[in-house]
Amino acid sequence: MEEIKRFRASTAAITREAEAAARARLLHEIRTGREPGRRRLPRYAWRIVLAGAFAVVMGLGVIRSQTPSVVPVASVQELSERAAEAAETHDGPEPSSGQWLYVKERLAPGAGVGVNLDERTTSETWTSVDGKHQAWYQPGGNLLVQGTHPGISAAELAEPPVTPQKVLSRIDTVTADAMAGWLDSDGSPYREPREQRLFQAIYQLMGEQALSPEVRAALFRALPSIKGVTVRPDAVDADGRRGVAFAYTGDWARYELILSPDDFRYLGTYGVTVKDRTNYSASGSVFVPAGTPLVLSAQLETHLVDRAGQRP
């Protein structure tokens, strides 16, 4: 028996993050009498979740004139669980095959390296509801349709069973493959921490794609298991809306996925460097000081439309 007892005995213990996430799920069930996220959706129960999209569209002025009280969120687990629960209870219109998700965003425009926080532009994009393609108008007026990054679709993520670990490992596989051939600015193979890759893929999926409530909730529940993900209670999006954010801080930059503090719908993203770095390229080197903003966005509207390029 000793031989078998030794076999794989050195398997790593549960991480603090995983233990805390499991405990949070149990406590949620204990307190509410139901465990969120495990219900099976009927086959056609696809729903647009961009939680609260209607509220944004129909009540933009109202929302902006209020300053929602910032909900204190004690931990990343708690934010994860509350956001997941909100995503699950949201019923939106169901996309049908062939439709596109129109997303209107306000952005800080690019400024060499990083973005200019003093200016804003508006961006319109269309993402096919299968998550495979994205379209936008080029300056000349032509509609450009391209594949999405990370190239993982809402439909693939929705294949049952939808669990936090499963959606995460699927995203991990796809994004690792997608970046395998990339080179860094100095020509060396591009290396990005796995955690950062996962975090960015999740916030991109949440901002661009027509995710089912189940998938969106699973993504929220997966976030605490990514090492380095924390909560920032004081985030602000490109539209000036205050929110609560999941944040990931890597070696060089911090990225935030900003949610509405009252109903946890997606508001926008923010990224900023946290360390000085020099980028090398063929045209020379560029010094990028810590504190350089990399992205600032705010989602203003989302609608389902029948073809790419169609405005609601």
Partner 1 sequence: MTARPAETVETDETDETDDAELIRRSRDDPEQFAVLFDRYVHQIHHYVARRLGTQAADDITAETFLAAFRRRDSYDLARPLARPWLYGIATTLVARHRRGEERFLRALSRTGVDPLPEPMADAVVDRVAAQEERRLAKALAGLSRGDRDVLLLIAWGDLSYEEAAQALGVPVGTVRSRLHRARKKARAALGGDDPAQEEE
Residues that bind partner 1 (CB under 8 A): 1-5, 7-9, 11-27, 29-31, 35, 74-78, 81, 163-166, 168-169, 172, 194-195, 224-227, 230-231
Do the Cβ atoms of 101 and 127 come closer than 8 Å?
Answer: yes
Give CA–CA dist 50/87, Å, rounded.
8
> What does the block give as tokens for 103?
């997303």
| CB nearer to partner 1: pick between 226 and 308 | 226
Evaluated on CA atoms 52, 106, 255, 152, the torsion sign reads positive
Q: Which amino acid is at 83?
A: A
| CB nearer to partner 1: pick between 16 and 311 | 16
To partner 1, the closest distance from the beta carbon of 178 in angstroms equals 18
To partner 1, the closest distance from the beta carbon of 221 in angstroms equals 9
Give CA–CA dist 104/101, Å, rounded.
10
To partner 1, the closest distance from the beta carbon of 176 in angstroms equals 11
Residue carrying the six token digits 């080029």: 138
To partner 1, the closest distance from the beta carbon of 37 in angstroms equals 10
To partner 1, the closest distance from the beta carbon of 226 in angstroms equals 6
Give CA–CA dist 240/297, Å, rounded.
10
Q: 276: how many CB neighbours lie within 10 A of its CB?
A: 12
| CB nearer to partner 1: pick between 30 and 62 | 30
Give the contacts of 281 (CB within 8 A, at least 6 positions apart): 185
* Per-residue b or e along 86-115, where b marks 16 or more CB atoms closer than 10 Å to that residue's CB: bbbebebeebeeebbbbbbbbbbeeeeebb
C-alpha 255 chain-centroid distance: 10
| CB nearer to partner 1: pick between 14 and 143 | 14
To partner 1, the closest distance from the beta carbon of 96 in angstroms equals 31
| CB nearer to partner 1: pick between 80 and 302 | 80
| CB nearer to partner 1: pick between 92 and 243 | 243
